[in-house]
Amino acid sequence: MKSNIVLITSLFVLLIASRLITEIPNFTPTIALVMFTGYLITNRYLAILVILSSQIISDLYIGIYSSMVFVYGAYVLIATLMPTIIKSFNIKKSTSYYYIFFKFFINYINEFRKVINI
């Protein structure tokens, strides 16, 4: 149970951070995290709650926009379809964890380099 809370909390924080750090809020890191949140959290309603609540919190900071309903709908659709799609590729959960953190940190290293003009 403790590992589930850590997983849910870390995915929640990563989803918020993925929207606040990049220049484009609905970019690849967010979609990748939405995909794996839908896969790693086995309770579908909890996965959707984590995704939508993190997006709402980050949108309160970024600002409200007119196409929010469509973006949220796409995130929910991605989260509900990903378990089926990933299982069809026979990907193990340990590989999923590695991909999430590798993708997340590589993206933000590149973003940090852009900010400091290296």
Q: What is the pLDDT of residues 29-54, one digit of tens each?
A: 788 888 888 888 888 999 999 999 99
For the chain, percent of residues with pLDDT exceeding 70: 67
pTM: 0.70
- At 51, the amino acid letter reads I
What are the residue boundaries of the structural domains of the chain, listed by start?
2-116
Mean pLDDT of 78-96: 74
SS3 23: coil
Other beta carbons within 10 Å of 35: 21
Residue 90, SS3 per DSSP: coil
Rounded to the nearest 10 degrees, how much is the dihedral formed by the CA atoms of 69, 52, 55, 100?
Answer: -120
Tokens of 116: 């400091």
